[in-house]
């Protein structure tokens, strides 16, 4: 395997108290290879966004971040501000769910793009304007010259997200972290934006981390998937393996809870209970209270990560057999 | 026999300023422009479409929360009385509404038990003891625990709050529940719980649902029939499974193709059908077929004449001039 572009090792984020049970992210380890597309799946509060905000030093000061995040060997956790600023936007760019709140409403699109180009590439004047035009063209915005003098409120949500992607591309990053980039958009516009991200990756070889709660979005757009639950990584596998033969009860539950678009309609398998609140995390496996096959040790001992297949890792005491869904067992009835 | 709910040629137009500034000329926004619906007892009609297509306005028109510009709504054969009259209030106990955000639909300062009882104090003269008993029964039917009666909304999770909203809606034994994006604000693992609950309640109580959502997979799961809206009009309507399996209108085809799905076998068998551009501004709806600006099959006829809903074999209704042409099977 090639050397990873980004290697996250034992990343832990504490807000407030700093006790074990209020951890937003607990000892997460991940790697992103150059040019790879990694999907991060999880529900609200799973730490899927916080992991990457922490990696880029974007969390407020009260968050205590420990562990290691290396970008081609360079340590980012605790790195001086100046070093981080040379990474953010330039090496690793990030886009968010709501594009209109990320753009400055009182500045024209062109000015905001040129600012990014000046910051990351040192371009100015004519060269910056030409590059801004090229970027808008690359993200599929028609009539780019006119759009440069538009304000964000004149653009639709889909167009604003294209502008955000253009700004993220301004620094020619090696990795784009896209945090729910299409959640606020309509279905047909979501399809356009996802197709655009795929085309950009094909043209530039940029790596992508796609954070989403939507398993469908992730399944169609990445090579490898990591599933997070309540701040921990519970399963990680190449896409086809994860969706075809998930081994962690939580991943299996998420898949069983998903209605299908084709085939016969079957009753959905609902995961009982709710996600634990920060501050009341279970001591052992955090999924144990909702798990249909939990044993005594699951409630007390956090499960270690185990390799269960080629590049396939799951953190579960019960080494569920391949091809068996714990939710189809008699005990799993809701 | 008359249907439970029958809406005929509903229209709701708003006058809006078309330009900037107070004195800009007014123009007409056709939020809903000629929608007809029919819903039988105990059935679910799914209403899908993208933001701004008028699906929520249609839901409010059905309840009379928004008065129609023209058109009629009949519930059990009777026309909807004018809003605000005592006859309308009397009817409202039979038609209840469930919104997307349960926290916004609940009063944060009242225990949930009190809120679940409230419809009874409005619609029925019953003793406090009976109110309490019926509230507890409603809570049990939606899967809430009796001890949660004294809880406040902030003490519950999102899924539990939506159960409270459902329990409250069920207190007056309604025949029709208008659900506007009822599970969109919930986490994936909780969505399945609420979907199953809605299906169980329907089976047990025979309630009809008008189920409004942008999530096609959920709509397919709960609906008997589905209507697809685009810019204020229904463009396709039919039986849920067949509509999603063989969408006929180009817009429905694009919508179905745009839904990202987990394909357990690997690979992707569904057609690719990527639309160009954004939906047009509803103030300035294109002439003819409103979809022609984004449709890969549009002709001169589509730009000039507005298509009406026409029946296809099998009971499907489609508003498209070119739907009968076999060549459209190949996406452009």
Q: Looking at residue A213, which CATH number applies to its domain? A: 3.40.50.300
Contact between B189 and A271 using a beta-carbon 8 Å cutoff: yes
Q: Could you tell me the maximum CA-CA distance found in chain B, to the nearest angstrom?
A: 68
Contact between B260 and A217 using a beta-carbon 8 Å cutoff: yes
Give the separation between CA B132 and CA B115, rounded to whole angstroms: 11
Q: How close is the nearest chain A Cα to the Cα of B129, in Å?
A: 31
Provide the 8-state DSSP code for A311: T
Select from A240, A198, A225, A207 the least CA-distant residue to A37: A207
- Cβ contacts from A onto B, under 8 A: 129
Distances in Å between the Cα of B274 and the Cα atoms of A193, A333, B62, B245, B271 are 10, 39, 33, 18, 10
Assess whether A220 and A294 both reside in one domain.
no
Sign of CA dihedral B21, B26, B28, B31: positive
Assess whether A42 and A191 both reside in one domain.
yes
Assess whether A210 and A138 both reside in one domain.
yes
Mean pLDDT over B261-276 rounds to 70
Assess whether A117 and A185 both reside in one domain.
yes
Assess whether A257 and A193 both reside in one domain.
no
Whole-number pLDDT of residue A334:
44
Nearest by CB to A192, which of B51, B221, B274?
A: B274
Q: How close is the nearest chain B Cα to the Cα of A204, in Å?
A: 22
Instruction: Tell me if A173 is assigned to some domain.
Output: yes
Instruction: Tell me if A26 is assigned to some domain.
Output: no
User: Hunting for tokens 């922490």 — which residue is that?
Assistant: A54
Whole-number pLDDT of residue A18:
53
Instruction: Tell me if A12 is assigned to some domain.
Output: no
Nearest by CB to B189, which of A188, A257, A259?
A: A257
Give the separation between CA A257 and CA A328, rounded to whole angstroms: 12
Kindly identify which residue of chain B lies nearest to residue A212, measuring between CA atoms: B188
Q: Are strands B208-212 and B176-180 parallel, antiparallel or unpaired?
A: parallel
Nearest by CB to B221, which of A253, A268, A269?
A: A268
Q: Cα B304 from chain centroid?
A: 30
Q: How close is the nearest chain B Cα to the Cα of A66, in Å?
A: 28
Q: What is the ipTM of this complex?
A: 0.85
Helix axes A125-138, A109-121, angle to 10 degrees: 110
Contact between A259 and B217 using a beta-carbon 8 Å cutoff: yes
Select from B139, B189, B196, B192 the least CA-distant residue to B163: B139
Of residues A302 and B187, which shows the higher confidence score?
A302
Whole-number pLDDT of residue B332:
37
Compute the half-sphere exposure of residue A109: CA atoms within 13 Å on the CB side of its CA. Answer: 29
Chain A residues with CB under 8 Å of B261 CB are 216, 219-220, 260-262
In percent, how much of chain B has pLDDT > 90?
62
Q: How close is the nearest chain B Cα to the Cα of A201, in Å?
A: 18
Kindly identify which residue of chain A lies nearest to residue B224, measuring between CA atoms: A265
Indicate the SS3 state at residue B47. Answer: strand
Q: How close is the nearest chain B Cα to the Cα of A246, in Å?
A: 10
Total number of domains in chain A: 2
**B109 burial type by CB count under 10 A (0-12 exposed, 13-18 middle, 19+ buried):** exposed
Mutation for testing the A interface, residue in B260, B269, B281 having most A CBs under 10 Å: B260
CA torsion angle for A94, A96, A102, A108 (degrees, to 10)? 70
Whether residue B331 has pLDDT greater than 60? no
Whole-number pLDDT of residue A1:
56
Distances in Å between the Cα of B223 and the Cα atoms of B62, B212, B250, B306 are 18, 10, 21, 28
Sorting pLDDT into bands at 50, 70 and 90, what band is B262? confident
Instruction: Tell me if A27 is assigned to some domain.
Output: no
The strand pairing partners of A175, in sequence order, are: A92, A207
Contact between A261 and B244 using a beta-carbon 8 Å cutoff: yes
Instruction: Tell me if A28 is assigned to some domain.
Output: no
Q: How close is the nearest chain B Cα to the Cα of A173, in Å?
A: 26
Of residues B305 and A15, which shows the higher confidence score?
B305
Asked whether the beta carbons of B202 and B141 are under 8 A apart, the reply is: no
In percent, how much of chain B has pLDDT > 70?
94
Nearest by CB to B220, which of A43, A192, A261?
A: A261
Q: Provide the domain limits for residue A302.
A: 247-273+284-332
Assess whether A119 and A220 both reside in one domain.
yes
Query: In the β-sheet with B208-212, what is the strand arrangement from edge to edge?
Result: B95-98, B176-180, B208-212, B44-48, B225-230, B233-239, B317-318, B310-311
Contact between B279 and A186 using a beta-carbon 8 Å cutoff: yes
Whole-number pLDDT of residue B264:
66
In percent, how much of chain A has pLDDT > 90?
63
Using a CB–CB cut-off of 8 Å, the residues of B that contact A are 50-51, 157, 159-160, 187-193, 195-196, 199, 214, 216-218, 220-221, 241, 244-245, 254-266, 268, 270, 274-276, 278-279
Kindly identify which residue of chain A lies nearest to residue B276, measuring between CA atoms: A192
Chain B residues with CB under 8 Å of A155 CB are none
Give the separation between CA B49 and CA B231, rounded to whole angstroms: 9
Whether residue B82 has pLDDT greater than 90? no
Cβ within 8 Å of residue B78, ≥6 positions away: none
Instruction: Tell me if A71 is assigned to some domain.
Output: no
Chain A residues with CB under 8 Å of B192 CB are 256-259, 268-271
Contact between A255 and B262 using a beta-carbon 8 Å cutoff: yes
Q: Give me chain A's average pLDDT, please.
A: 90
Over residues B18-43, the pLDDT tens digits come to 666 777 777 888 899 999 999 999 99
Whole-number pLDDT of residue B276:
83
Instruction: Tell me if A189 is assigned to some domain.
Output: yes
CA torsion angle for A57, A59, A62, A65 (degrees, to 10)? -50
Whether residue A46 has pLDDT greater than 50? yes
Assess whether A180 and A103 both reside in one domain.
yes
Sorting pLDDT into bands at 50, 70 and 90, what band is A17? low
Strands (E), B217-274: 225-230, 233-239
Chain A residues with CB under 8 Å of B254 CB are 188
Assess whether A43 and A190 both reside in one domain.
yes
Distances in Å between the Cα of A203 and the Cα atoms of A67, A190, A207, B155 are 34, 20, 11, 49
Chain A residues with CB under 8 Å of B244 CB are 261-262
Chain A residues with CB under 8 Å of B188 CB are 43, 213-215, 254, 257-258
Give the separation between CA A12 and CA A65, rounded to whole angstroms: 6
Over residues A87-142, the pLDDT tens digits come to 998 999 999 888 888 899 999 999 999 999 999 999 888 999 999 999 998 898 88
Kindly identify which residue of chain B lies nearest to residue A323, measuring between CA atoms: B264
Q: Which long-range contacts (CB under 8 A, 24 or more apart) does B242-245 make?
A: B242/B314, B242/B316, B243/B316, B244/A261, B244/A262, B244/B216, B244/B220, B245/A262
Indicate the SS3 state at residue A242. Answer: helix
Instruction: Tell me if A19 is assigned to some domain.
Output: no
Q: Give me chain B's average pLDDT, please.
A: 89
Contact between A271 and B218 using a beta-carbon 8 Å cutoff: no
Q: How close is the nearest chain A Cα to the Cα of B194, in Å?
A: 9
Buried b vs exposed e over A151-179: b needs ≥16 C-beta within 10 Å?
ebeebbbbbbbbbbbbbbbbbebbbbbbb
Assess whether A194 and A315 both reside in one domain.
no
Q: Note the CATH architecture for domain B5-94+174-241.
A: 3-Layer(aba) Sandwich (3.40)
Contact between A190 and B258 using a beta-carbon 8 Å cutoff: yes
Give the separation between CA B98 and CA B50, rounded to whole angstroms: 19
Whole-number pLDDT of residue A333:
44
Whether residue B74 has pLDDT greater than 90? yes
Whole-number pLDDT of residue A181:
92
Asked whether the beta carbons of A247 and A315 are under 8 A apart, the reply is: no
Chain B residues with CB under 8 Å of A44 CB are 187
Cα–Cα–Cα angle for A274, A276, A282, nearest 5°?
125
Assess whether A132 and A266 both reside in one domain.
no
């Amino acid at each position: 395997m090639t050397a990873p572009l980004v290697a996250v090792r034992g990343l832990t984020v504490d807000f407030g108290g700093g006790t074990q049970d209020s951890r937003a992210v607990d000892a997460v380890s991940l790697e992103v290879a150059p040019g790879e597309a990694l999907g991060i799946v999880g529900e609200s509060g799973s730490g899927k966004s916080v992991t990457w905000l922490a990696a880029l030093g974007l969390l407020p000061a009260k968050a205590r971040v420990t562990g290691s995040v290396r970008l081609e060997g360079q340590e980012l956790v605790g790195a001086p501000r100046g070093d981080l600023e040379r990474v953010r936007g330039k090496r690793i760019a990030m886009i968010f769910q709501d594009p209109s709140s990320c753009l400055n409403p009182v500045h024209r699109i062109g000015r905001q793009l040129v600012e990014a180009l000046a910051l990351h590439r040192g371009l100015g004047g004519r060269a910056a304007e030409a590059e801004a035009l090229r970027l808008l063209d690359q993200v599929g915005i028609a009539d780019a010259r006119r759009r440069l003098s538009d304000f964000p409120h004149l653009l639709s949500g889909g167009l604003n997200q294209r502008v955000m992607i253009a700004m993220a591309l301004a620094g020619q990053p090696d990795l784009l972290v896209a945090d729910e980039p299409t959640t606020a958009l309509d279905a047909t516009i979501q399809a356009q934006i996802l197709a655009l991200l795929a085309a950009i990756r094909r043209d530039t070889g940029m790596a992508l981390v796609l954070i989403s709660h939507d398993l469908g979005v992730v399944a169609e757009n990445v090579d490898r998937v990591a599933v997070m639950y309540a701040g921990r990584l519970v399963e990680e596998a190449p896409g086809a393996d994860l969706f075809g033969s998930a081994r962690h009860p939580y991943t299996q539950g998420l898949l069983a809870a998903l209605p299908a678009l084709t085939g016969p309609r079957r009753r959905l398998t609902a995961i009982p209970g709710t996600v634990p609140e920060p501050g009341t995390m279970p001591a052992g496996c955090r999924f144990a209270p909702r798990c249909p096959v939990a044993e005594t040790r699951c409630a007390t001992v956090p499960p270690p990560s185990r390799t269960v297949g080629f590049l396939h890792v799951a953190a579960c005491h019960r080494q569920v057999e391949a091809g068996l869904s714990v939710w189809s067992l008699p005990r799993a009835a809701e | 026999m008359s249907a439970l709910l029958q809406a005929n040629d509903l229209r709701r137009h708003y006058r809006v300023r078309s330009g900037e500034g107070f004195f800009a000329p007014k123009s007409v926004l056709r939020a809903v422009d000629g929608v007809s619906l029919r819903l039988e007892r105990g059935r679910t009609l799914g209403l899908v479409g993208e933001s701004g297509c008028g699906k929520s306005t249609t839901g409010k028109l059905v309840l009379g929360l928004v008065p129609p510009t023209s058109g009629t709504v009949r519930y059990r054969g009777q026309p909807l009385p004018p809003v605000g009259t005592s006859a309308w209030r009397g009817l409202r106990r039979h038609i209840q509404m469930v919104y997307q955000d349960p926290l916004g639909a609940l009063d944060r300062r009242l225990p949930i038990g009190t809120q679940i009882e409230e419809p009874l104090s409005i619609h029925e003269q019953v003793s406090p003891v009976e109110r309490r008993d019926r509230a507890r029964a409603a809570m049990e039917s939606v899967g809430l625990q009796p001890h949660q009666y004294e809880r406040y909304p902030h003490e519950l999770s999102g899924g539990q709050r939506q159960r409270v909203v459902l329990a409250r809606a069920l207190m007056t034994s309604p025949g029709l529940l208008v659900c506007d994006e009822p599970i969109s604000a919930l986490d994936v693992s909780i969505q399945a719980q609420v979907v199953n609950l809605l299906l169980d309640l329907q089976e047990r109580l025979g309630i009809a649902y008008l189920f409004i959502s942008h999530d096609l997979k959920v709509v397919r799961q709960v609906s008997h029939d589905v209507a697809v809206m685009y810019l204020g009009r229904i463009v396709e309507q039919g039986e849920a499974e067949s509509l999603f399996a063989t969408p006929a209108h180009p817009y429905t085809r694009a919508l179905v193709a745009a839904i990202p799905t987990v394909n357990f076998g690997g690979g992707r068998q569904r057609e690719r059908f990527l639309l160009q551009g954004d939906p047009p501004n509803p103030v300035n709806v294109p002439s003819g077929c409103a979809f022609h600006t984004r449709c890969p099959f549009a002709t001169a006829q589509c730009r000039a004449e507005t298509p009406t809903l026409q029946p296809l074999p099998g009971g499907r209704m489609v508003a498209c001039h070119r739907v009968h042409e076999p060549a459209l099977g190949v996406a452009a």
